[in-house]
Copies of this chain bind each other. A is one copy, B any other.
Amino acid sequence: MTAAGSRNNLKAELAQFKRRRIREEANHLFYRQGYEGTTIDAIADKLQVTKPFIYSYYKNKGEILYDIARVGITLSSEALERCLAIPGSSWDQLKLVVDEVTRIVVQNQEYIVVYQREEKNLEPEQARAIREQRSAFDHRLAEVLASGEAVGEFRLQDPPLTATTIGGMMSWVALWYQPGGHWSEAEIITHIIRSVERLVAVRGRQEVPPASRPQPEIRK
């Protein structure tokens, strides 16, 4: 058989790549000048392309914002499922989730801030879809808390509420984290993991060792 198996299609990959670059530059500009303060022409200039080029990859400006707004929750949901697929105690899994999701928040800080600031500019339907996905995330997290509580691993009042609180703690990081600032990625992750540990009152608590190393930049 030929190797047609994998999702190999350079054409499609290139289109994806272009969309990603448009999204990145748009996000940068939205972050610095706001959504309404940023023109499509400005995005095009940054990429040294023309306006019609952008319109051939995005239906309209709102689609770009929608794409940006979904980055955080999409990556987080994927990470959540990935972590829960790994066997281990509830605390092991929770720790894994908090580690990965906090890392995502830190590494995609600008996307998340833009989402929070510009949610009002989303189409109602789009905003709803995202809020629903966020709620599904919290719900899934609450299940982990509940099952950890059931086996006596955690001690907490209200799993859904605690799940939302934990989600909030992690998202909040985006608002104060600054690359190259006072706290490193690893320090923040460790701190959040410890905070969550207290929130759920893990039995047999043991110090979380400081994370090994901040990740090298994923890509320039």
Interface secondary structure of A, over-half rule: helix
In the complex, whether A213 has a CB less than 8 A from a CB of chain B is yes
Residue contact B9 to A13, C-beta cutoff 8 Å = no
Inter-chain contacts of A103 with B (CB < 8 A): 216
> In whole Å, how far is A13's beta carbon from the nearest beta carbon of chain B?
7
Residue contact B100 to A216, C-beta cutoff 8 Å = yes
Count this chain's copies in the assembly.
2
Q: Which of B42, B49, B219 contacts A10 (CB 8 A)?
A: B49
Residue contact A79 to B8, C-beta cutoff 8 Å = no
Q: Which of B3, B21, B47, B216 contacts A46 (CB 8 A)?
A: B3
Inter-chain contacts of A18 with B (CB < 8 A): 10, 14
Residue contact A210 to B213, C-beta cutoff 8 Å = no
> In whole Å, how far is A36's beta carbon from the nearest beta carbon of chain B?
19
Interface size on A, residues (CB 8 A): 36
- 8 Å CB contacts to B: which residues of A1-40? 2-3, 8-11, 13-14, 17-18, 21, 25
Mark A43-78 against chain B: 1 for CB-CB distance below 8 A, else 0.
001111100000000000000000000000000000
In the complex, whether A186 has a CB less than 8 A from a CB of chain B is yes
Q: Which of B21, B45, B209 contacts A2 (CB 8 A)?
A: B45
Mark A89-121 against chain B: 1 for CB-CB distance below 8 A, else 0.
000000010011001000000000000000000
Give 5 A-B contacts (CB < 8 Å), ordered by A residue.
A8-B47, A10-B47, A96-B213, A209-B212, A212-B212
Kindly list 12 other residue pairs between chains A and B, CB separation below 8 angstroms, not including A8-B47, A100-B216: A8-B25, A8-B46, A10-B18, A10-B47, A10-B48, A10-B49, A13-B21, A14-B18, A189-B212, A211-B211, A211-B213, A212-B212
